[in-house]
Amino acid sequence: MELTAQLDDEHFQKLSQIQQQTNRNLNDIFIDLINEAIEQRYQQLELPKKNIFQAFEETGLIGCISTDPDLSTNYKSVINEYLEDKYQQGRL
């Protein structure tokens, strides 16, 4: 497939700097960037199709703890109690 692209001056300068720093063919760099952008956008479109649990699990955002059910409202006092207990034990 052949594509023709027109870049604004700012992005052309950035592409040129990448080419100078990598000593790669400008066309090869451009193709790599396009492929990366397509892959990234494709992944973004695929994420909502998954079960939200699966999405969080794949990103490592799923955890399990056992604690006070009201922790979101009283977390400061829970932390203070924990720190007091911890430092009291250290003083014995």
Q: What is the pTM of this model?
A: 0.46
Give the pLDDT confidence score for residue 87 in this predicted structure: 86
Tokens matching residue 7: 């870049």
Q: What is the DSSP letter of 70?
A: T
58: Cβ contacts below 8 Å, ≥ 6 apart: 50
| pLDDT tens, position by position, 20-33 | 999 999 889 989 99
Cα–Cα distance, 2 to 34 (Å, whole number): 12
Cα–Cα distance, 45 to 22 (Å, whole number): 31
| pLDDT tens, position by position, 52-74 | 777 777 777 766 677 777 888 88
